[in-house]
Amino acid sequence: MSPSPRPTEPAVTVGLSGGVDSAVSALLLQRRGARVSAVFMKNWEADDREGYCAAAQDLADAQAVCERLGVALEAVNFSDAYWDRVFERFLADHRAGLTPNPDVLCNQEIKFHAFLEHALNRGADRIATGHYARVEHAGGRFRLLRGADPEKDQSYFLYTLGQGVLGRVEFPVGHLTKPEVRRLAAEAGLPNHARKGSTGICFIGERRFRPFLARFLPLSPGEIRTLEGEVVGHHEGLAFYTLGQRRGLGIGGRRGARAAPWFVLAKDLGRNVLVVAQDHEHPALLSKVLTLREIHWVAGSAPAGRLDCTARIRYRQKDQPCRATPLSEDRCRVEFARPQWAATPGQSVVFYDGDECLGGGVIEPSDPAGIEARGSG
């Protein structure tokens, strides 16, 4: 049996999604003796005729977990905040030719801002989520560490969290592997112990991306051209494509052309042209130096001078050796030891020193003038 919570134990509100990770987080906190409550966050209310949204089932699963654990559950609607702080930015970035990462912004603005404020206002001492990450207090500051399970580590999506937030956050499953989490859930009789993990856009879920985005952004058809300016197809709108994309271009076999796949090299917003080539290792897809904006350092301040560390330009990428040089308070230059493939404007570069997540920033668009000039014919 879990120990009865004592008034001196911290009051922790768990963000309960209906999934097994947050459920086991509540279980572990309860076993520790914490005063546990739970919040189910509803963050999307747009018409869902296609049936992709599983919010009702998620809530039912969260309720079943709370009934099993004897934990009070509050359903809170953050959909207005999500639309204003996350989804509007998501759409604006796509209009600007970027490929944003909504999970990073969702964590920053909803899970660790709106939810945290709500919980603290309701009397919680801190919040907990089912993220695979760890927080350590050492040397007078909080350190954000990778989750113990390298296959599930989610620190990449948490690099915007600062010292004030980390001091109020717990990640109870961060020291566990996914199989260990499922085993604990099964042993405790949690009803969702075998539930499939969630994927897709944060709080919106799994969807066919192009039809979903087309509901909010108008189609803007244009030409698909090679670097030499030859028209090889037509696109539906630059917002629906990303750097390095191979599938969905609709470029069929062409007389005299190599039987090789096509890749997106650039998006020319000025002329509404998608630039492509038949070369996975084309120089336009390789970047050794990047400029980042919206820089955030977990420690609260930029390192003094240049920083030799590792970085990821996308989730699940292996760490890449690099050197980061702050340019200003919110911009940074990154030089990698080896060229990086399809470093996509709008995506995040996240820095690491061993297991510690140091911070990160958003990739700025590079000047496409060279590619555009060569593609103008």
- Rounded distance between C-alpha atoms, residue 35 and residue 7, angstroms: 8
End-to-end CA distance of the chain: 74
User: For 144-167, what is the mean pLDDT?
Assistant: 97
Answer with the one of 209, 226, 259 that is the final residue of a domain: 209
- Mean pLDDT calculated for residue range 229-242: 95
* Mean pLDDT, residues 334-343 taken together: 97
One domain for residues 103 and 222:
no
Q: Which domain holds residue 233?
A: 218-282+370-375
- Residues 316, 180 share a domain: no
Residues above pLDDT 70, as percent of the chain: 89
Tell me if 291 is assigned to some domain: yes
CA distance 22 to 7: 23
Look at residue 2 in the predicted model and tell me its pLDDT: 58
Considering the domain architecture, whether residues 85 and 224 belong to the same structural domain is answered as: no
Would residue 80 count as lying in a domain? Answer: yes
Number of domains in the chain: 3
| Catalytic residue list contains 106 | yes
Beta bridge partners of 287: 340
Using N-to-C axis directions, what is the helix angle for 178-187 and 20-32, rounded to 10°? 70
Residue 2 lies in a domain: no
- The per-residue pLDDT for 202 is 57
Residue 249 lies in a domain: yes
- CATH code, 245: 2.30.30.280
Which residue do the tokens 């020193």 mark? 353
pLDDT score, position 255? 64
Residues 69 and 160 in one domain: yes
Candidate list 106, 309, 332, 357, residue with the active-site label? 106
What residue ranges in the chain does DSSP mark as E strands?
A: 11-15, 35-42, 73-77, 126-128, 133-138, 141-146, 169-170, 222-226, 231-235, 263-268, 273-277, 286-297, 307-312, 320-326, 331-341, 348-353, 356-363
Residues 276 and 288 in one domain: no
Assign 233 to helix, strand or coil.
Answer: strand
Is 202 tagged catalytic? Answer: yes
Task: Name the catalytic one among 202, 309, 322, 357.
Answer: 202
pLDDT score, position 245: 95
What is the average pLDDT across 126-150? 97
Residues 191 and 100 in one domain: yes
1 in any annotated domain: no
Please check whether residue 178 lies inside any domain of the structure.
Answer: yes
Q: Please tell me the predicted confidence (pLDDT) of residue 374.
A: 40
Looking up tokens 């009397």, which residue turns up? 123
Query: Does 6 reside within a domain?
Result: no
Q: What is the pLDDT of residues 108-118, one digit of tens each?
A: 999 999 999 99
Q: Which residues contact 39 (CB under 8 A, 6 or more apart)?
A: 13, 14, 15, 16, 73, 74, 75, 76, 115, 118, 119
Residues 292 and 261 occupy one common structural domain: no
pLDDT at position 195, please?
82
Report the pLDDT value the prediction gives residue 212, as an integer from 0 to 100. Answer: 85
Q: What is the pTM of this model?
A: 0.91
Of the pLDDT bands very low, low, confident and very high (cuts 50, 70, 90), residue 373 is: very low
CATH classification of the domain holding 120: 3.40.50.620
- pLDDT tens sequence across 308-321: 999 999 999 999 99
Q: What is the pLDDT of residue 376?
A: 43
Residue 198 shares a structural domain with residue 226? no
248 compared with 2, residue with greater pLDDT:
248
Q: Which residue has the higher pLDDT, 239 or 206?
A: 239
Enter the tokens of residue 65: 């977990």
Q: What is the pLDDT of residue 3?
A: 58
| Same domain membership, residue 238 and residue 142 | no
The answer to whether residue 4 is domain-embedded is no
> What phi and psi, each to the nearest 5 degrees, are found at residue 147?
-70, 155
Is 79 exposed, middle or buried, given 0-12, 13-18 or 19+ CB atoms closer than 10 A? middle
Average pLDDT score over residue span 286-307:
95
Q: Is the pLDDT of residue 52 over 50?
A: no
pLDDT tens string 59-79: 999 999 999 999 999 999 999
